[in-house]
Amino acid sequence: MKDFFNKETLDNIKQFCTENKKYVGVAVILIGLILMLIVVVAGGNNGRHSDTESESQAEISVKDFEFEKDYTNDAKDDINTLLADYYKAYVGDDLDTLGKLATPMSDNEKSYIGVVSQYYESVNDITPYTKNGLKKGSYFVSVKNSIKFTGVDTQAPTLDFFYIETGKDGKLFINNVYSNFNRTYCENELDNDIMELISKYTASSEFADLHEEVQKEYEQALSADANLKTMLETTLTGSIKQWYTSSGIANLKKSDADTQQADDASQNSEQQNTDANAGQTADQQTTDANAEQNADQQATDANAGQNTDQQTTDSNAANQQPAEQPQAPAEYQVVTKDVVKVRDGASTDSKELGLLKEQVTLTAYGTEGDWTIVSYSGGTNGRAYIKTENLQTVGQ
């Protein structure tokens, strides 16, 4: 190789190029064009490959997206750290730190945390169950944990939910728009696509199994420690009710309440008209009585010392009194008859908290319309609602 680049060889090459510079120039241009073509084609293929990936990802709609059956370990360490920091700040009422970890966080939610956290001593046994979301770097996370309340020996098993995303800085954060608080009070607008994904997530058999496990532990803890029961059902509930009435959050629901009140008034008016048409005016009652009783009986009743109209009204009123029904105990056990939806309120419009399988035993606290109030670890103040027709009272 060294001999190839000696002076004589280089002079020969120089002389050849001088004598054939026309052809050498054409060759150089041709080689340059070939190299440019290679670069353009390679870049085009990469672009098409990237576009194909984007198109493929865009083709997966919310409707078609399915969560993987198994939980993932993706970003496990980062998620564990985020949740540990979140619960530590929550217990310590460290609102500045919470606002950085979970955003956005309204003033109402901050005041709510201030009320609740005063009873927290610690949150322990933090165990996340994670599934990848539709968007890259997003995660749907159920968190099983145990809350230690001040002055209570037994810890309360609970199951929380978080929607976690990756920020522009590459760090994970809790998208707090989908916190239990905002999904209940809707201070910040909820994205329909993400809410649909959350519904899919909570409808999965894996979530149902996990919730059933925590629910059983929760029921056992309440049964084992009266102080824990008092803390959850009296002390904490009372403080939250007081917070609700004194905070601005109640005004958010005022318009909804007014609308509901108007609907109820309309229904009552319609019912009154129906009742009137059914024969509950004094004259109609008398007519009905005459149709049902013979004249001799009416005369006998009249001779008893009351006028016919009053007698008939009293008679009908007595006949219309329902038979006394046995009163349900203040607290009783119910069992799900089938897979049932659990909601945050006594309405199909209320937020869906999850699903329970058939033959799950729950503690019930009475009814509200067509709904039964049950003990539910994921509900507000440990309460939730299930359609009464989907439950069977134990012992009946």
Taking only the tens place, the pLDDT of each residue in 80-131 is 999 999 999 999 999 999 999 999 999 999 999 999 999 999 999 999 999 9
Which residues sit opposite 122 in a β-bridge?
148
Alpha-carbon gap, residue 180 to 203, rounded angstroms: 17
User: In the prediction, which pLDDT does 308 show?
Assistant: 40
pLDDT at 382 over 80: no
* 157: nearest Cα among 167, 166, 146, 172: 146
Q: For residue 29, give the 3-state DSSP assignment.
A: helix
**Angle at Cα 286 formed by Cα 280 and Cα 288, nearest 5°?**
75
Q: Which two tokens stand for residue 89?
A: 């700040």
Q: Which two tokens stand for residue 28?
A: 């150089």
Residue whose pair of structure tokens reads 């910040």 in the numeric block: 188
- Taking a C-beta distance cutoff of 8 angstroms, is the pair 155, 147 a contact? yes
User: In the prediction, which pLDDT does 158 show?
Assistant: 94
pLDDT tens readout for residues 267-296: 544 444 444 444 443 344 434 444 444 444
Of the chain, the percentage scoring pLDDT greater than 70 comes to: 64
CA Rg value for the chain: 36
Residue 279's CB is within 10 A of a number of other CB atoms, namely 15
Burial of 357 (0-12, 13-18, 19+ CB in 10 A): middle
User: In the prediction, which pLDDT does 6 show?
Assistant: 57
Alpha-carbon gap, residue 73 to 182, rounded angstroms: 28
Q: Which two tokens stand for residue 290?
A: 């005459």
**Angle at Cα 214 formed by Cα 212 and Cα 220, nearest 5°?**
105
User: In the prediction, which pLDDT does 329 show?
Assistant: 46
Amino acid identity, residue 134? Answer: L
* Confidence (pTM): 0.60
Task: Give Cβ neighbours of residue 366 (< 8 Å, ≥ 6 apart).
Answer: 328, 330, 372, 373
* Mean pLDDT across 50-75: 73
DSSP labels for 216-227?
A: HHHHHHHHH-HH
pLDDT tens readout for residues 158-174: 999 999 999 999 999 99
User: In the prediction, which pLDDT does 290 show?
Assistant: 43
Q: Which two tokens stand for residue 391?
A: 């439950």
Of the chain, the percentage scoring pLDDT greater than 90 comes to: 42
* Out of 234-243, 256-265, 367-376, least confident range: 256-265
